Chain A
Amino acid sequence: MLRLLFVLVPAIHAQLCQPDAENAFKVRLSIRTALGDKAYVWDTNEEYLFKAMVAFSMRKVPNRETTEISHVLLCNVTQRVSFWFVVTDPSKNHTLPAVEIESAIRMNRNRINNAFFLNDQSLEFLKIPTTLAPPTDPSVPIWIIIFGVIFCIVIVAVVLLILSGIRERRRKSKEPSEADDTEDKCENTITIENGIPCDPLDTKGGHINDAFMTEDERLTPL
């Protein structure tokens, strides 16, 4: 009778843990992608650690504090590395509901990831969505700070330029006579550039083009 039981138990175990079985979850690891050269080989010891982590997570759930490592069953381990697992109750006759397992895994996801040096993308529990980290929003967005700096600098510079312009104008209005004399001198010089003497048109003493002059005299002055 007992021998029958010993034969039946692994068979029952095999039935409990199957791909797409009820309350079974598929896990997929991408160790080489995550760790590169420092990747470790996935062997039975790693599987034991995995079972331990799942059992640990389940022990945190109320009413499930007596979960043992032997209650976690793994099957269909592939080279990928991927496998299915279920968690059985102490009687080892049926599996625990998926909802409990899911919530337990989600609570302890970080510890499970860290045990294997992996993250949410390289240690995937298919069908268990990851809780996304809330974005780290600084109290004042960075763009406002830099905008404030630039805007203040620009306003200060504009004000400085306007003030210096006002000061220059006040200075210029105090010395009008000297400026006129220099302008008079400039107009009477004859410049020669490129070998061509070019006479600037000078209303005071320059050349007068007769062709235009006659028109002006004929007509009413403006």
Chain B
Amino acid sequence: MACTVGPEPLGDGGGSERPKWDNKLQYLLSCIGFAVGLGNIWRFPYLCQTYGGGAFLIPYLIALVFEGIPLFYVELAIGQRLRRGSIGVWTAISPYLGGVGLGCVTVSFLVSLYYNTVLTWVLWYFLNSFQSPLPWSSCPLDVNRTGFEAECQASSTVSYFWYRQTLNITADISDSGSIQGRLLACLAASWAVVYLCVIRGIESTGKAIYFTALFPYLVLTIFLIRGLTLPGAVEGLIYLFTPDVQILQNPRVWLDAATQIFFSLSLAFGGHIAFASYNPPRNNCEKDAVTIALVNSMTSLYASIAVFSVLGFKAANDHGRCLDRNILHLINAFDFPDQSISRDDYAAVLTHLNASQPERVARLHLEACHLEDFLDKSASGTGLAFIIFTEAILHMPGAPGWAVLFFGMLFTLGLSSMFGNMESIITPLLDMGLTHRSIPKEVLTGLACLLCFLSAICFTLQSGNYWLEVFDNYAAPLNLIIFAFLEVIGVAYVYGLQRFSDDIVCMTGRRPSLYWRVTWKVVSPLLLLTIFVAYIAVLVWTPLSYRAWNTQYARFPSRQGAAGDGFTGTPAESSRKMLCSMALTVCRVSRTLNCLLGGQSSGCVVFPQKNPQNLTSPSYWKVALAGCHHLGS
């Protein structure tokens, strides 16, 4: 069997070569950087904590082996084989699957909008970390300077800094408020940094990735060492990692493990396809896939150890301060000498006082201080980074330095993921040859970044955080699962497992083993279908909602759950638009399926890979539809 290399894409200046990685390390670091993102820091530890500590690793590893690595391998192999971005690849497999590629580009565009907004917030905190004391350590004074701001007193200094001085958030998603100038400036800066790094495609990201992919590991190690030496860290680690095997009976755990591995590896974005398309045609992508997936999971574990040790320190600190407050109440009320009750004596003294003078003790309204309560306080996402971690950093000696390191790490983590997102948008566009040869690549990347920047301005509104949560929860996940399902079906059945195996033999020199073939053909599609159905079920059962920061709420500072049915005006339209895009995808999917099932009579053609003519030319479609060939091989 002759091993054919896909022809060069027309968009790359006609006769000029496709760009290449300078060395294998750049490619590996780019894929690792894309896969390792903010979710490894603030989603995986939260899931571990909520779902029984060490026991969560069992469904996680099972999902990795049966879903994560096979899908990842498919993306790398198909990108390397067909040497195009996602639109080109799926159009090459079948013209009717082109919608999958287009969908991947759209999802990448939407995700890069709000992902970079998170980086904007990280940049804002980073810029504010260069001062001592840190701005989120104290409340600002109120108007008459007699006390602190009421909102700050009621919640906490870190929450106030996040919700008021950073976001200036409104109480309701329909109340948009005004554009926040400081966030707009940081947004412009972060898109400028992204543009600087992707300006020449992989030529420039390849240089930047050495720093952005490796710096987070350095900082994680520093935090790990510092974290383990903090008081209370080891207790926190033991408590949070202790496995609770009973929790595995809850099906939600398996669903969350499967979705976590899926999003953690950044599958179905088209970014890995784009990166792999710049590889030399004969490169062992099997080893790459397994290596990168394992590195991603190891990083999640490594990060969760660092995060848990800091959380353990924070819980011990909070517990100590709770005890101190109670001790102060007791000392003041009963006129004991200053510092006469230590934290260890507190329990004994309290029981003694409760026995002798229970009414006086009851009047004091002492809080209940249990270490487990503080350890159980968990958060994921922005809550972990901007509220819990910032508070923990306040109590570490040398706080500004730790804050700079932490937010610098988050920024570089997010930046390396942004490279993958931008490549998954830019590479297909370049391959499609939309622009004339004389227009340089810098202009195209600049236009893409400018368009993204202008679209993302809506997230700098006062209600931007609510919009971001809506996007994060509803825009990306379902679409990605559909695309991944179509990808694996497309490769296993439309392209044909036999032909795919031949390609892999040519690229890696070995036939894919039974494990790969079984997972591609049966296990992964079934898993994805199950996840899809379960996701829909969860969406149907739980009403659309978001959590609002409402100062008038009776239980402020708890966030008020606002109903999604109350969406009026623009929010309803946007959710309708999202449903429309999903419907369009489903429509394309059904047409493809119809074509596949209809067989020869419906005029389906497998695109011959010899010469991809201009996809926009009508005569191409005439050629494509003229005859019917056997599907797959």
B144 shortest CB reach to chain A, Å: 10
Q: Which of A81, A158, A180, A196 contacts B192, CB < 8 Å?
A: A158
Would you call A196 and B3 a contact (CB within 8 A)? yes
For residue B127, which residue of chain A has the nearest CB?
A: A143
A6 to B192, CA, bound (A): 86
Would you call A212 and B608 a contact (CB within 8 A)? yes
For residue B146, which residue of chain A has the nearest CB?
A: A129
B502 shortest CB reach to chain A, Å: 11
Q: Which of A47-55, A95-103, A148-156 contacts B (4 or more CB under 8 A)?
A: A148-156
Instruction: Tell me the residues in window 129-152 of chain A with beta carbons closer than 8 Å to chain B beta carbons.
Output: 129, 131-132, 134-135, 142-143, 146-147, 150-151
Would you call A132 and B147 a contact (CB within 8 A)? yes
Would you call A165 and B127 a contact (CB within 8 A)? no
A165 to B509, CA, bound (A): 39
Would you call B141 and A201 a contact (CB within 8 A)? no
Would you call A198 and B130 a contact (CB within 8 A)? no
Chain A contacts for B140, CB-based, 8 A: 135
Q: Which of B193-201, B352-360, B425-433, B453-461 contacts A (4 or more CB under 8 A)?
A: B193-201
Chain B contacts for A194, CB-based, 8 A: 282, 508-509
1/0 contact trace for A166-201 toward B, CB 8 Å?
100100000000011001000000010111101111
Q: How many residues of A contact B (CB 8 A)?
A: 50
B471 shortest CB reach to chain A, Å: 26
Would you call A151 and B189 a contact (CB within 8 A)? yes
Would you call A222 and B610 a contact (CB within 8 A)? no
Chain B contacts for A166, CB-based, 8 A: 440
For residue B189, which residue of chain A has the nearest CB?
A: A151
Chain B contacts for A150, CB-based, 8 A: 127, 189
B149 shortest CB reach to chain A, Å: 12
Q: Does B179 contact A (CB under 8 A)?
A: no
1/0 contact trace for B527-547 toward A, CB 8 Å?
000000000000000000000
Would you call A135 and B141 a contact (CB within 8 A)? yes
Would you call A201 and B282 a contact (CB within 8 A)? no
Chain B contacts for A155, CB-based, 8 A: 192
Do A220 and B619 contact each other (CB < 8 Å), given the known contacts A147-B127, A193-B282? Answer: yes
Q: Which of B221-229, B332-340, B416-424, B564-572 contacts A (4 or more CB under 8 A)?
A: B332-340
Chain A contacts for B200, CB-based, 8 A: 161, 165
Would you call B192 and A29 a contact (CB within 8 A)? no
Would you call A80 and B335 a contact (CB within 8 A)? yes
Chain B contacts for A146, CB-based, 8 A: 127, 130
Chain A contacts for B19, CB-based, 8 A: none
B571 shortest CB reach to chain A, Å: 32
Instruction: Tell me the residues in window 180-203 of chain B with beta carbons closer than 8 Å to chain A beta carbons.
Output: 182, 185-186, 188-189, 192-193, 195-196, 199-200
Instruction: Tell me the residues in window 1-54 of chain A with beta carbons closer than 8 Å to chain B beta carbons.
Output: 28-33
Chain B contacts for A196, CB-based, 8 A: 3, 505-506, 509
Would you call A195 and B509 a contact (CB within 8 A)? yes
A22 to B506, CA, bound (A): 97
B231 shortest CB reach to chain A, Å: 19
Would you call B2 and A80 a contact (CB within 8 A)? no
Q: Does B397 contact A (CB under 8 A)?
A: no
A198 to B608, CA, bound (A): 19
Would you call A169 and B440 a contact (CB within 8 A)? yes
A155 to B331, CA, bound (A): 60
For residue A151, which residue of chain B has the nearest CB?
A: B189
Q: How many residues of B contact A (CB 8 A)?
A: 56
Q: Which of A28, A132, A134, A165 contacts B440, CB < 8 Å?
A: A165
A82 to B334, CA, bound (A): 11
Would you call A147 and B189 a contact (CB within 8 A)? yes
Do A147 and B508 contact each other (CB < 8 Å), given the known contacts A80-B331, A80-B335, A142-B128? Answer: no
Do A199 and B3 contact each other (CB < 8 Å), given the known contacts A80-B335, A193-B282? Answer: yes
Do A32 and B141 contact each other (CB < 8 Å), given the known contacts A161-B199, A161-B200, A165-B440? Answer: no
Chain B contacts for A143, CB-based, 8 A: 124, 127-128, 130, 182
1/0 contact trace for B116-151 toward A, CB 8 Å?
000000001001101100000000110001111000
1/0 contact trace for B79-109 toward A, CB 8 Å?
0000000000000000000000000000000
A220 shortest CB reach to chain B, Å: 7
Do A79 and B335 contact each other (CB < 8 Å), given the known contacts A146-B130, A222-B619? Answer: yes
Do A198 and B131 contact each other (CB < 8 Å), given the known contacts A134-B145, A147-B186, A158-B196? Answer: no
B122 shortest CB reach to chain A, Å: 13
A155 to B17, CA, bound (A): 29
Chain B contacts for A199, CB-based, 8 A: 2-3
For residue A201, which residue of chain B has the nearest CB?
A: B4
A35 to B506, CA, bound (A): 77
Chain A contacts for B617, CB-based, 8 A: 222
A162 to B445, CA, bound (A): 12
Chain A contacts for B127, CB-based, 8 A: 142-143, 146-147, 150
Would you call B196 and A32 a contact (CB within 8 A)? no
Would you call A222 and B128 a contact (CB within 8 A)? no
Chain B contacts for A81, CB-based, 8 A: 337-338
Would you call A201 and B610 a contact (CB within 8 A)? yes
Instruction: Tell me the residues in window 204-222 of chain A with beta carbons closer than 8 Å to chain B beta carbons.
Output: 207, 209, 212, 215, 219-220, 222
Instruction: Tell me the residues in window 501-529 of chain B with beta carbons closer than 8 Å to chain A beta carbons.
Output: 505-506, 508-509
For residue B6, which residue of chain A has the nearest CB?
A: A201
Q: Which of B141, B193, B623, B627 contacts A132, CB < 8 Å?
A: B141
Q: Does A114 contact B (CB under 8 A)?
A: no
1/0 contact trace for B606-630 toward A, CB 8 Å?
0010100110010110110011000
Chain B contacts for A165, CB-based, 8 A: 199-200, 440, 442
For residue A213, which residue of chain B has the nearest CB?
A: B610
Would you call B626 and A198 a contact (CB within 8 A)? no
Would you call B141 and A198 a contact (CB within 8 A)? no
Q: Which of B17, B128, B338, B610 contacts A30, CB < 8 Å?
A: B338
Do A147 and B335 contact each other (CB < 8 Å), given the known contacts A155-B192, A161-B200, A222-B623? Answer: no
Instruction: Tell me the residues in window 48-105 of chain A with beta carbons closer than 8 Å to chain B beta carbons.
Output: 78-82
Chain A contacts for B178, CB-based, 8 A: none
Q: Does B590 contact A (CB under 8 A)?
A: no
Chain B contacts for A32, CB-based, 8 A: 337-339
A28 shortest CB reach to chain B, Å: 7
For the complex with contacts A80-B336, A183-B15, A196-B505, 15 further pairs of A-B residues with Cβ separation under 8 Å are A30-B338, A78-B335, A80-B332, A80-B337, A80-B338, A146-B130, A147-B186, A150-B127, A154-B193, A161-B196, A165-B199, A196-B509, A201-B5, A215-B608, A222-B620
Q: Shortest 4 CB-CB distances between A and B: which pairs?
A: A194-B509, A143-B127, A78-B335, A198-B3
Enumerate 21 A-B pairs (CB-CB under 8 Å) in ascending A order. A32-B337, A80-B332, A81-B337, A132-B147, A135-B140, A135-B141, A146-B130, A147-B189, A150-B127, A157-B196, A158-B192, A161-B196, A161-B199, A180-B15, A191-B282, A196-B3, A196-B509, A198-B282, A200-B5, A215-B608, A219-B626
Interface residues of B (CB under 8 A from A): 2-5, 7, 15, 17, 124, 127-128, 130-131, 140-141, 145-148, 182, 185-186, 188-189, 192-193, 195-196, 199-200, 204, 281-282, 331-332, 335-339, 440, 442, 505-506, 508-509, 608, 610, 613-614, 617, 619-620, 622-623, 626-627
Interface residues of A (CB under 8 A from B): 28-33, 78-82, 129, 131-132, 134-135, 142-143, 146-147, 150-151, 154-155, 157-158, 161-162, 165-166, 169, 179-180, 183, 191, 193-196, 198-201, 207, 209, 212, 215, 219-220, 222
